[in-house]
Amino acid sequence: MKRILRVVCILLFTSSAFAADWRQFRGPTGQGTSDEKGLPTEWSTQKNIVWKVKMPGAGASSPMTLGNRVYITAYSGYALDTKNPGNMDDLKRHLLCVDRVTGKVNWTKEFAPVLPEHKYAGEGAYHGYAPSTPITDGEHLYVFFGKSGVFCFDLDGKQIWHTLVGKGINGWGSGASPMFYKNLLIINASIESNSLIALDKKDGKEVWRAAKIGSAWGTPVIVTTPAKTTELALSMSGRVAGFDPDTGKELWSAKGHGGYVCPSLVTHDGIVYAVGGGGTSLAIKSGGRGDVTATHVLWHEKKGSNASSPIFHDGFLYWSSESGGVIHRQNAATGKSTDKRLAPDAGRVWASPVFADGKLYFVSQFKGTYVVAANEKLDLVSRNFFDDDSARTNASIAISDGQLFLRTDAYLYCLGKK
């Protein structure tokens, strides 16, 4: 009886806050967009900072919010200095729960990794060992740490279960974030076992596994087809594929990107949009069967992003090239695009943008956050940075209840009005 009352209380609490929650990578729909208005567009060390919290280490994972709590992961002990990474045996991972009102750290969990991990060498590894964003269903919290496995916790940090999804490593590291479908937790374990894996949320047991998932770092997306059926789609090296999310059976595949793929897909009105490796982008009508390259690919262009995922808004795709801060505005119907280089130069951009209230937020690694109007001219609204900290930033912004949550390798910031 007590458990039933607890669950009811949790559901009542979280349902009232659901519209404001950012429960997973890229937000409520997994596509990086928010309906919120009046968000901050300017901030600095002296302006619009509600609080900042020192992180125990670095990370490329995004903050995730649930009611008055913010959850985030980090790593420490190894690979914090690119010139002197240290000893891999000292690597630790962390999960933090932060009070979103005060910035006080409510609790932390520390994890010893399954070693060996990939060596911290070359720019491909610079995103580190905590790149995957946690996800919550309002009752439990799920965290993916690559070959160290998938963890389920209650909201106070008590571990419920732990499951391994493979032993593989890659010089670029792991990277995909978990997602939900019904009672399933979907894990892109391309790096760990060349697989797409569905786990039962309640106990972590494997429900299905799809094989031949090669060089894919993106998070899968749920697609509603023109026939109003549901598919699970993922972009990977050489192809984009659709799966039955209940069974893992591959339904269709289209020739896609020539190289590795980091960006996640976006969808709209049954169309899957893939922007990715090898400098290509394409649009695919979902719902096909078998090889749909000749029948369902609507366009295929020779422009793409090696790292950050696109935004779909009002008939256009918006995304950034990873170097130089070039912003692309691509017509979703034709694939034709116009480009604009951010000024002052944004340097490398690995984080995926987010969209709200007619504006796009692009986070560069070292040169701040650029707020850009989602219009034909891609007008620069503002450029924002913290002059007290030059730490690297590889994480996307989280939007929640009128505030922005931005993490660097050094701090977690809550941005907005106090």
pTM equals 0.93
Tell me what pLDDT residue 124 has. Answer: 67
Say how far apart CA 174 and CA 188 lie, in whole Å: 10
Beta strands in 127-200 (DSSP E): 135-136, 140-144, 150-154, 159-163, 179-181, 184-189, 195-200
Measured torsion, CA atoms of residues 138, 23, 231, 267, in degrees rounded to the nearest 10? 150
Say how far apart CA 272 and CA 283 lie, in whole Å: 6
**340-353 per-residue burial string, b: 16 or more CB within 10 A, e: under 16:** eebeeebebbbbbb
Query: Could you tell me what percentage of the chain is helix, strand and coil, using 3-state DSSP and rounding each to the nearest 5?
Result: 10, 40, 50
User: Which residues partner with 41 through β-bridges?
Assistant: none
Tell me what pLDDT residue 321 has. Answer: 85
Tell me what pLDDT residue 155 has. Answer: 97
Measured torsion, CA atoms of residues 341, 342, 346, 352, in degrees rounded to the nearest 10? -90
CA geometry: angle 235, 139, 160, nearest 5 deg: 85
Tell me what pLDDT residue 16 has. Answer: 38
Per-10-residue mean pLDDT for the chain, 418 residues long? Answer: 44 46 97 96 94 96 98 96 91 98 97 95 82 97 98 97 97 94 98 98 98 96 97 97 98 93 97 90 98 98 92 97 85 96 91 97 94 96 85 94 96 92
Tell me what pLDDT residue 125 has. Answer: 76
Which candidate, 61, 63, 159, places its Cα nearest to that of 110? 159
Which candidate, 102, 35, 28, places its Cα nearest to that of 66? 28
Written as one letter, the residue type at 131 is P
- Token pair listed for 97: 């729960």
Written as one letter, the residue type at 99 is D
Q: Is 117 exposed, middle or buried (0-12, 13-18, 19+ CB in 10 A)?
A: buried
- Within 10 angstroms of residue 237's Cβ, the number of other Cβ atoms is 18
Written as one letter, the residue type at 280 is T
Quick check: 101 and 53 in contact, CB under 8 A?
no
| 133-158 pLDDT, tens digit each | 999 999 999 999 999 999 999 999 99
Q: Which long-range contacts (CB under 8 A, 24 or more apart) does 374-377 make?
A: 374/311, 374/313, 374/314, 374/316, 374/318, 376/329, 376/338, 377/340
DSSP string, 193-206: HSEEEEEETTT--E
- Token pair listed for 63: 């903050």
Tell me what pLDDT residue 121 has. Answer: 85
Which candidate, 42, 30, 80, places its Cα nearest to that of 59? 80
* Alpha-carbon distance values, 265 to 87, 113, 222, 352 (Å): 36, 29, 10, 11
Tell me what pLDDT residue 81 has. Answer: 85
Say how far apart CA 81 and CA 78 lie, in whole Å: 8
Q: Are strands 64-66 and 49-54 parallel, antiparallel or unpaired?
A: unpaired
